[in-house]
Amino acid sequence: MSGWRPTVAAVFEGVDPGLKIRRVEVAAPQEGEVLLEVAACGACHSDVHKLRGHGTVAPPCVFGHELSGTITETGPSVDRVRPGDRVVCSFLVPCGKCAACAAGADDDCAPFRSAMQRDGLRFDGTHRYRFLDGAALRASGVGGLARHVVLPATAVFPLPNDWPSAWPLADAAVLGCAGLTAYGAVHRAARLTGGERVLVIGAGGVGLCVIALARHAGVVGTVATDLRQGARRAALDFGATAALDGADPPSAAHSVEQVASEDTERGLADRVRSVLGGDPDVVFDTIGTSDTLLQAQQIVAVGGRVVVTGLGGTSGRGIIPDLTVFVRRKVALIGSYAGLPREDMPRLLDAVRSGAFDPARLVSARYPFAQAARAYAEVAAGRIVGRALIEY
């Protein structure tokens, strides 16, 4: 591969060294690829898991998957975008060629999961970053925590022409993961319709976008729960009818046994019902621990849907607390990963442009690239409401 050029990347060198800013090289875009000059990268909680050593790509590697930027170069056979285009990048990258992609099921693209997510390479099985000594540097998935990144063109989506000029390109980065995840949950998994009642557990980056998109879809009302007061304030700002402390009762610290009885849930369920004028038709669990999953199933209406986007309990078991209740109340439990980027990113951009929410309001903290490690430390400590943005 020829045409390597200098750039800088925040390289994950292992749990102890953590992130180090390194001068590296990035390849020229190959067939079907683009070179992106990155404007910003959102510090998403899923990268905190990687920082703790739970990623699938061994260090050293480059992660970061919530990007916006400007196309500076395109490889052969790229006609969807051109240099100068301002784009948002989807964290899930459909190869566009496998059977799942051909059927429109972008979120089931096997080459993305194997080549990009598992192996840290691009679809042709080779890398696009290297150290100055020529050693390969892998990317974990998108791997865009760098000044430049080479990506499949299927990852990038131009901002609409009439994108408000007051909205910086950098801030649109949050749409690539938080926004798309929320869009998939609302419109693919829940198939939310106007006139429904909604509960959103967890008002983080994804939760806030779910609240805004639910309002945009014309729901009767949305209650948000979060343990953090700042997040509850943000939930109201994003259009929640009410924002409640999800720990009242039960505390998230309680064991599953202590909260397994439906009666103990009555306090919160009653408050949710009184705000909404009925039980929630859909509960979005954006946290994804056994406690929140339990709460969701106990509060949702008979015949309602529980949509899970959070992976907070990845290391533990998900729980159906009472199989009789689950069966007799006909609860639908729906996992939601990302939506379908090629269809949904343009729709999300349209929804945002038409007023669903202002991406800048999701950003509560900004860090220069050199302080990327600090941004993740703040996310890991739970001190960030919405999103922390790493800017160039």
Q: How far is the CB of 115 from Zn ion (least distance, A)?
A: 10
Q: How far is the CB of 233 from Zn ion (least distance, A)?
A: 23
What are the residues whose beta carbons fall under 8 Å from the beta carbon of 152, sequence distance 6 or more?
A: 32, 33, 34, 93, 95, 96, 122, 123
Q: How far is the CB of 313 from Zn ion (least distance, A)?
A: 17
Q: Of 51-90, which residues contact Zn ion (CB under 5 A)? A: none
The site string for Zn ion over 14-53 (x = CB under 5 A, - otherwise) reads: ------------------------------x-x-------
Q: Smallest Cα–Cα separation from 56: which of 336, 338, 386, 314?
A: 314
Name 11's bridge partners: 20
What single letter denotes the amino acid at residue 215? R
Residue 360 in contact with Zn ion, rule: CB under 5 A? no
Q: Of 90-129, which residues contact Zn ion (CB under 5 A)? A: 95, 98, 101, 109
Residue whose CB is less far from Zn ion, 301 or 352: 352
Residue whose CB is less far from Zn ion, 205 or 221: 205
Contact status, residue 373 vs residue 19, Cβ threshold 8 Å = yes
Query: Which pair of tokens denotes residue 74?
Result: 């395109």
Given CA atoms 60, 66, 72, 78 in this order, what sign does their dihedral have? positive
* CA-only gyration radius of the chain, Å: 21
Q: Is the peptide bond before 6 cis (omega within 30 degrees of 0)?
A: no
Q: DSSP readout, 53-120?
A: II-SSPSSEE----EEEEEEEE-TT--S--TT-EEEE-SS---SSSHHHHTT-GGG-HHIIIIIIIT-
Contact status, residue 43 vs residue 49, Cβ threshold 8 Å = no
Q: How far is the CB of 65 from Zn ion (least distance, A)?
A: 6
Residue whose CB is less far from Zn ion, 204 or 239: 204
Residue whose CB is less far from Zn ion, 34 or 44: 44
Per-residue DSSP letter, 228: -
Q: Which stretch binds Zn ion (CB under 5 A): 151-159, 174-182, 278-286, 324-332?
A: 174-182
Residue whose CB is less far from Zn ion, 175 or 272: 175
Q: Of 175-234, which residues contact Zn ion (CB under 5 A)? A: 177
Residue whose CB is less far from Zn ion, 206 or 211: 206
Q: How far is the CB of 97 from Zn ion (least distance, A)?
A: 6
Applying CB under 5 A, what is the total number of residues that bind Zn ion?
7
Residues of this chain that interact with Zn ion (CB under 5 A) are 44, 46, 95, 98, 101, 109, 177
